[in-house]
Amino acid sequence: MLESDRAYFASTRVPALFGAGVRKLWPLPNREHAVTAGGTLCRLPSWLVGDPPRPIVTMRHPFRPNRNSSCQRCSELVSAMPTTPGPYEQLHDTLLATAEPGAERDGLLSALRRGVPFEMRMAGQAYQVVRQYGELVRLLAGRSAAEELADAHIMVDLMRLTDGDRAFLMLRPREGSTLILPMAPVPTVSRG
Ligand SMILES: [Zn+2]
């Protein structure tokens, strides 16, 4: 796989998360800072975040880097921190590690790398979710393997996805290998 294939994932990575806080009792631009237990990331003097008088007031939303209203130094520091993979990237790498190599896995991995939306994704007890949400009647192969899992009292991650003229059912038990089965695609509504 080419590294450039993962370009979509870069856009879904989540920046490091901090609370936001502003200095209320200071006659300077009221920019939001990334707040940590020890003060602000940009290291405003500790007496400014002391108690009392608590000049840093924390906001209800997280710190949002690179906004006009955000502290530039805090933004730089947050942007330099490692980002967290988004859900598509996490699932992609999980399938690489847990699903059997083959055409179905390749097809699903390709769809994830292009951000094709899930039809359905949920987790639950296999005997409760596989028959109800798996749409097993659409399976083109592997019905018996899915039926076997459908009776099990184990936690399973279920996902369906249609990518053009192909569709997939993914059943991932907490332990063991992941099933990726071909399904009949859901017809896409033509726009035009
Ligand atoms: Zn700051």
Render pLDDT for 110-161 as a digit per residue (tens, 0 to 9): 999 999 999 999 999 999 999 999 999 999 999 999 999 999 999 999 999 9
As a whole number of angstroms, the distance between CA 19 and CA 39 comes to 11
| Co-location of 63 and 119 in the same domain | no
pLDDT on residue 47: 52
Structural domain that includes position 146: 87-183
CA 60–ligand 1 middle distance (angstroms): 17
Number of domains in the chain: 2
- Residues, CB within 5 angstroms of ligand 1 (ion): 33, 40, 42, 71, 74
pLDDT on residue 169: 98
The pLDDT tens digits along the chain (192 residues) read 555 588 888 888 888 889 998 876 555 557 899 988 777 899 876 555 555 555 677 888 999 998 999 999 999 999 999 888 888 999 999 999 999 999 999 999 999 999 999 999 999 999 999 999 999 999 999 999 999 999 999 999 999 999 999 999 999 998 889 999 999 998 766 554
CA 22–ligand 1 middle distance (angstroms): 9
pLDDT on residue 14: 82
CA 188–ligand 1 middle distance (angstroms): 47
| Co-location of 62 and 131 in the same domain | no
CA 21–ligand 1 middle distance (angstroms): 9
| Co-location of 102 and 149 in the same domain | yes
Instruction: Flag whether 9 is in a domain.
Output: no
CA 83–ligand 1 middle distance (angstroms): 19
As a whole number of angstroms, the distance between CA 158 and CA 126 comes to 9
Instruction: Flag whether 192 is in a domain.
Output: no
Are the C-beta atoms of 15 and 81 separated by less than 8 Å? yes
Last residue of a domain, one of 36, 63, 79: 79
As a whole number of angstroms, the distance between CA 56 and CA 64 comes to 16
CA 50–ligand 1 middle distance (angstroms): 16
| Co-location of 61 and 119 in the same domain | no
CA 71–ligand 1 middle distance (angstroms): 5
CA 27–ligand 1 middle distance (angstroms): 15
Instruction: Flag whether 160 is in a domain.
Output: yes
Are the C-beta atoms of 34 and 78 separated by less than 8 Å? yes
| Co-location of 140 and 53 in the same domain | no
As a whole number of angstroms, the distance between CA 124 and CA 133 comes to 11
Instruction: Flag whether 6 is in a domain.
Output: no
| Co-location of 68 and 143 in the same domain | no
Question: Residue 160, SS3?
Answer: strand
CA 150–ligand 1 middle distance (angstroms): 52
Q: How many helices (H) and strands (E) does the chain have?
A: 6, 8
